[in-house]
Structure 1
Amino acid sequence: MAWLDELKLNVDARVAVIHLATIDEEEALRTLSGWSQSSRWPAGMGLITWDIGDQFRHLREPAVTFSKLAATPETVLDIIDDYKGSATFVLKDFHHFLEHNRRVSRMLRNLASRLPFRSETVNIIITSPQFALPVELRHDIPTIDVGKPDGKQILELLDRETRSTRALDNATHGLRERLVESALGLSIVEAGRAFRKAIVVAGGHGLDERSVRQVLNEKRHIIRESGALELYPYTGSMNNVGGLGALKAWLDQRQEAFSQDAREYGLSMPKGVALIGIPGTGKSLCAKVTAGHWGMTLLRMDVGAIFSGLLGSSEQNIREAIRIAEVIAPCVLWVDEIEKAFAGSMGDSGTASRVFATFLTWMQEKTAPVFVFATANNVRRLPPELLRKGRFDEVFFLDLPTHGERIKILEVHLRERGYTMLSQRFNLAAVASATEGFVGAELQALVNDAMFPAFRDNRRELETEDLLNAAGEMVPLSASHQEHIEQLRTMVRTGQARNASDDRNSLAAS
């Protein structure tokens, strides 16, 4: 367990005060208690917890008696300082008192300097659910991030939760793996609650594939409530994307790039892709279908939620989002309209700059199989360093659909409404000619609008004339975005981006 090794290293190095950031407080205490019963625990050292509710509790008795039963937040540090024996004190949720009491904060800083030189070792571990130390303490007190539980810990939890009900007695190895995978990204407390609810729903029949869906549904709610991320369902397949042949071929080539075979072959893991273009060209749809095509979990980052809350919480939000994505990996992390998060990288007290720096550093250095799928409508608002090589594997421009692509998009939406034998029923070439400058979302709206008069006319079947009439009543968004579109086409011509369309690339080559 990496965090425990880091904690032991700090203790061995006589770092006396340590901040432990974990949402799974009881699991961390269970781990510390297990360490205190091992041979590596210093002889004679006690393990004592304190919180404002239960006061002092002994998890391991020290050699020198510690007789205090209670303390206030203002006196607990004095009591620890006066103790003549050796002990590790765990102060739960003590960050609240550091934030609101300057004397307590100063006393802790003094102890961080003084305790390492005592003859009897005394350590203080502060637990909190997030990175919450005041600025003046951050250089004196190291923070260890416990992080989310890994697959092994989730499996141990699953076995504990099902032992009494024998809900896994008839489960296959594959079902166990899927249950564990469905809970990745949750804390121990959250995963335990999800498993227990699945056991209740299953009744006396034992856990099965429906239980996996139950846990996934619970995870979807929990992740959404966390604010920054949303577990997103797959939407269709690549067949639902009309045109964009170059982009689809690029994504298809990387379908198995996260596999062990790819690692053994020597392939590096794909980092991500950025799609730029005016609204409605299919950028978000591509993110949704890519996750399904690759068979990977899709997480959508809510950039608005990243910057919500108290001052200083934005950095915590982005770190938490990254941490969840890495635990759930392999996954696709969809950052929709990324320019809204990082436009100009400036804002309240430099918050946007710090969040941007955290995200950039992670993208550059990440080793977890998290594929970042970023979309942007207005590239002019993006910091130039975001799109440079090394951040994303490729930047694709989704141009206005060509005549042939408009036909393909119309076919997709007509088939979705149950129409077949399209070439015999419709003159889609004529409709495509009448919709020059329309984007995919507008072609979808066109089909929908065309159905209303057909429905009112005795529910008759849709005809080409209905589509042409609907097209004549619409003004495409591209009419007011010509300057922006030309700027994006210039990026393609200068090698800053690739065109996502085979048709456009063929036209450029000719």
Structure 2
Amino acid sequence: MYELNDLLILLNSSQAIISIETHEELRAVDLIKRCSVNIAKPVMKWSITSGIVDAASGVPAFNLMPMGATQNPKVEADAKQALREIASSRTPSVYILLDFHPYLDDPFVIRTVKEIAQNHLKNGHHLIFVSPELNLPNDFSRLSAKFKISLPDRSALRKLVLAELKIWKIRNTDKRFHANRKSIHLLVNNLIGLTVSESQRLIRNAIYDDDAISSDDLEKVQKAKYELIGQDGVLSFEFETANFAQVGGLTNLKNWLAVRRDVFLPTEDARGLDIPKGILLVGVQGCGKSLAARAVAGAWNVPLLRLDFGTLYNKFFGETEKNMRKAIELAEVMSPCVLWIDEIEKGISTGDFDSGTSQRLLATLLTWMAENKKPVFIVATANNIDALPPELIRKGRLDEVFFVDLPSEETLGEIYSIHLNKREIGISSIDLSELAKRSQGFSGSEVEQVVVSAMYQALALKQDLAIEHLLNEIENTRPLSIVMAEQISLLQKWASGRTVMAH
């Protein structure tokens, strides 16, 4: 309803040129046709395949051609000829020009469109350009207006889901559909940012695939959504997430995230609360920062997008910042989602070695972080805290800074249990406490490598894995806490009193 009123305002205010950039061509054309009654003007439609036709009936509009002209549809479909016919027509009309953008760099086309617009008060014509990609020439800047086809909100998406469910039930009276309010709510959340037609297609796929709306369907919807809109490669969709059962320790971080889950995924009880912005995880390498990022997405049942600064940088001036804006727009469309920025210090370290590109990139990111209202939860990880600018760390940009330290003896036992169970190795005969005691100073990744190496050793000896194999690998390992003891000690001293301990 609001879209119809907004478009009518543009038409009634004598706006000669209107551009609509959308993939929903049919919806745009239908909206324009609904305006014809109110403005008392016929609506014509042009495309390269059919020429100028009546938008309602599809009948070729030969009557628009000059007296004595040949009624040749092939000639009429030519863009230049179509503009000549529009310019010569004395019947005030609305002309929808579909996929006209390839012709907008032609001097004749530009001049003809400009003259039609300048003579609007005489001819009463409106030119409406509809295309999925549309950049009007600067010549039209003072003569044109942009109109945006809004994407469906949660309420509209829920109606689409319920409508498709109703159709399924009519067609399958002898079957039972498996879904609940929570699964429908999550499906709706994952459809945010898609058009009506795209949403309907994904809803049907989810419903008819297995006669249910399940977690598997949600994952498929997330992947399909990314494939529809993530064509630029500035963000990567991480298909494999995790859950906190796969993460040892990090108790404080887990509790912090659990409290904010229902606020990030809107519920009736959470109304009025600010959406969580994100967290920064700093700490010792190999202690689970990246795994924690994956676990947030898995626990919250939202897509995980990874921002790699290497894909953003471009040798041409301004292109790097443009790529950052594309990445941000994609994250907003994919929301609710987790945006994982791994080793953020490598992409935005402030220095003069890159002609200021890093500073401009940082400014773009900081502005968005401060102003963003979409449910995009940032999980940024960093190993070198000295390279991070203070304006990134302050409250308001991110909610909290967590320090991921070397795991405690208790946590090391959990980590050994996780990795042994993951590889289907029985732990009843393995003393986890002894392994943990002998592994003090090890990171989570080093514990995993101990398990993997011990399995290789047992296989080579044609033996079942035993605690002796694990202890032998522990003795042969020099953990990072020894190799880089001074740097880790400085990092721990910096984090004390400045950050929240994740464990």
TM-score of the superposition, structure 2-length normalised?
0.76
Q: Which residue of 2 aligns with 1:454?
A: 458
The aligned amino acid for 2:298 is G
Any residues of structure 2 matched to 1:1-12 within 5 Å, and which?
Answer: 6-12=6-12
Pair 1:479–1:92, CA change in 2 (3 A): farther
Provide the secondary structure at the position in 2 that maps to 1:274.
strand
The aligned amino acid for 2:24 is D
C-alpha contact (below 8 Å) 2:226/2:334 kept by paired residues:
no
Q: 1:254 offset after TM fit, Å?
A: 1.8
Q: Which residue of 1 aligns with 2:70?
A: none
Q: 1:20 offset after TM fit, Å?
A: 1.7
Provide the secondary structure at the position in 2 that maps to 1:287.
helix
Provide the secondary structure at the position in 1 that maps to 2:378.
strand
Deviations 1:132-183 (A, max 9, x none): 4456766764444435443455456564798599446664774766665554
Q: 1:185 offset after TM fit, Å?
A: 4.2
Q: Which residue of 2 aligns with 1:251?
A: 257
C-alpha contact (below 8 Å) 2:178/2:213 kept by paired residues:
no
Task: Determine the C-alpha separation between the residues in 2 that align with 1:152 and 1:241.
Answer: 36
C-alpha contact (below 8 Å) 1:407/1:432 kept by paired residues:
no
Deviates more, 1:243-252 or 1:346-355: 346-355
Provide the secondary structure at the position in 2 that maps to 1:257.
helix
C-alpha contact (below 8 Å) 1:161/1:192 kept by paired residues:
no
- Structure 1 gaps of 5+ residues are 502-510
Provide the secondary structure at the position in 2 that maps to 1:461.
coil
Pair 1:123–1:350, CA change in 2 (3 A): farther
The aligned amino acid for 2:434 is N
The aligned amino acid for 1:442 is E
Q: Which residue of 2 aligns with 1:59?
A: 55
Residue 17 of structure 1 pairs with residue 17 of structure 2? yes
Pair 1:73–1:399, CA change in 2 (3 A): farther
Q: Which residue of 2 aligns with 1:505?
A: none
The structure 1 residue matched to 2:101, chosen from 76, 95, 101, is 95
The structure 2 residue matched to 1:419, chosen from 419, 426, 430, is 426
Pair 1:370–1:428, CA change in 2 (3 A): same
Deviates more, 1:307-316 or 1:144-153: 307-316
The aligned amino acid for 2:337 is C
Task: Determine the C-alpha separation between the residues in 2 that align with 1:49 and 1:307.
Answer: 42
The aligned amino acid for 2:296 is T
Residue 237 of structure 1 pairs with residue 243 of structure 2? yes
C-alpha contact (below 8 Å) 1:33/1:47 kept by paired residues:
yes
C-alpha contact (below 8 Å) 1:401/1:439 kept by paired residues:
yes
Q: Which residue of 1 aligns with 2:301?
A: 296
Q: 1:392 offset after TM fit, Å?
A: 0.8
Task: Determine the C-alpha separation between the residues in 1 that align with 2:345 and 2:111.
Answer: 41
Q: 1:356 offset after TM fit, Å?
A: 5.3
Q: 1:241 offset after TM fit, Å?
A: 1.9
C-alpha contact (below 8 Å) 2:341/2:381 kept by paired residues:
yes
Q: 1:297 offset after TM fit, Å?
A: 1.0
Task: Determine the C-alpha separation between the residues in 2 that align with 1:73 and 1:15.
Answer: 22
Residue 395 of structure 1 pairs with residue 395 of structure 2? no
Q: 1:42 offset after TM fit, Å?
A: 0.7
C-alpha contact (below 8 Å) 2:44/2:96 kept by paired residues:
yes
Provide the secondary structure at the position in 1 that maps to 2:340.
strand
Task: Determine the C-alpha separation between the residues in 2 that align with 1:476 and 1:389.
Answer: 34
Q: Which residue of 2 aligns with 1:507?
A: none
Q: Which residue of 2 aligns with 1:508?
A: none
C-alpha contact (below 8 Å) 1:229/1:299 kept by paired residues:
no
Q: 1:484 offset after TM fit, Å?
A: 6.1
Pair 1:172–1:444, CA change in 2 (3 A): closer
Any residues of structure 2 matched to 1:353-372 within 5 Å, and which?
Answer: 357-372=363-378
Deviates more, 1:124-133 or 1:136-145: 136-145
Residue 126 of structure 1 pairs with residue 116 of structure 2? no
Pair 1:52–1:382, CA change in 2 (3 A): farther
Task: Determine the C-alpha separation between the residues in 2 that align with 1:179 and 1:454.
Answer: 46
Deviations 1:183-237 (A, max 9, x none): 44444444444455567756xxxx3246x74574254145146334555457443
Provide the secondary structure at the position in 1 that maps to 2:402.
strand
Deviations 1:374-423 (A, max 9, x none): 23344555554333321111122323334554344333323433433477
Task: Determine the C-alpha separation between the residues in 1 that align with 2:135 and 2:356.
Answer: 18
The structure 1 residue matched to 2:439, chosen from 424, 432, 438, is 432
Provide the secondary structure at the position in 2 that maps to 1:297.
coil
The aligned amino acid for 1:336 is D
Provide the secondary structure at the position in 1 that maps to 2:462.
coil
Deviations 1:216-269 (A, max 9, x none): 4254145146334555457443232222233223223323334445545x5322
Q: Which residue of 1 aligns with 2:32?
A: 32
C-alpha contact (below 8 Å) 1:93/1:127 kept by paired residues:
yes
C-alpha contact (below 8 Å) 2:164/2:203 kept by paired residues:
no
Residue 443 of structure 1 pairs with residue 447 of structure 2? yes
Deviations 1:43-75 (A, max 9, x none): 2x2222223233223215899964486253445
The aligned amino acid for 1:46 is P
Pair 1:118–1:187, CA change in 2 (3 A): same
Q: Which residue of 1 aligns with 2:46?
A: 50
Pair 1:426–1:439, CA change in 2 (3 A): closer
Pair 1:48–1:461, CA change in 2 (3 A): same
Provide the secondary structure at the position in 1 that maps to 2:53.
strand
Count of aligned positions: 482
The aligned amino acid for 1:500 is A
Deviates more, 1:305-314 or 1:76-85: 305-314
Across the aligned residues of Structure 1 and Structure 2, the Cα RMSD in angstroms comes to 4.4
Task: Determine the C-alpha separation between the residues in 2 that align with 1:350 and 1:119.
Answer: 52
Provide the secondary structure at the position in 2 that maps to 1:118.
helix
Task: Determine the C-alpha separation between the residues in 2 that align with 1:391 and 1:353.
Answer: 16
Pair 1:489–1:208, CA change in 2 (3 A): same
TM-score of the superposition, structure 1-length normalised?
0.76
Task: Determine the C-alpha separation between the residues in 1 that align with 2:10 and 2:216.
Answer: 42
Pair 1:457–1:23, CA change in 2 (3 A): same
Pair 1:182–1:474, CA change in 2 (3 A): same
Task: Determine the C-alpha separation between the residues in 2 that align with 1:348 and 1:71.
Answer: 50
Provide the secondary structure at the position in 2 that maps to 1:127.
strand
C-alpha contact (below 8 Å) 2:48/2:78 kept by paired residues:
yes
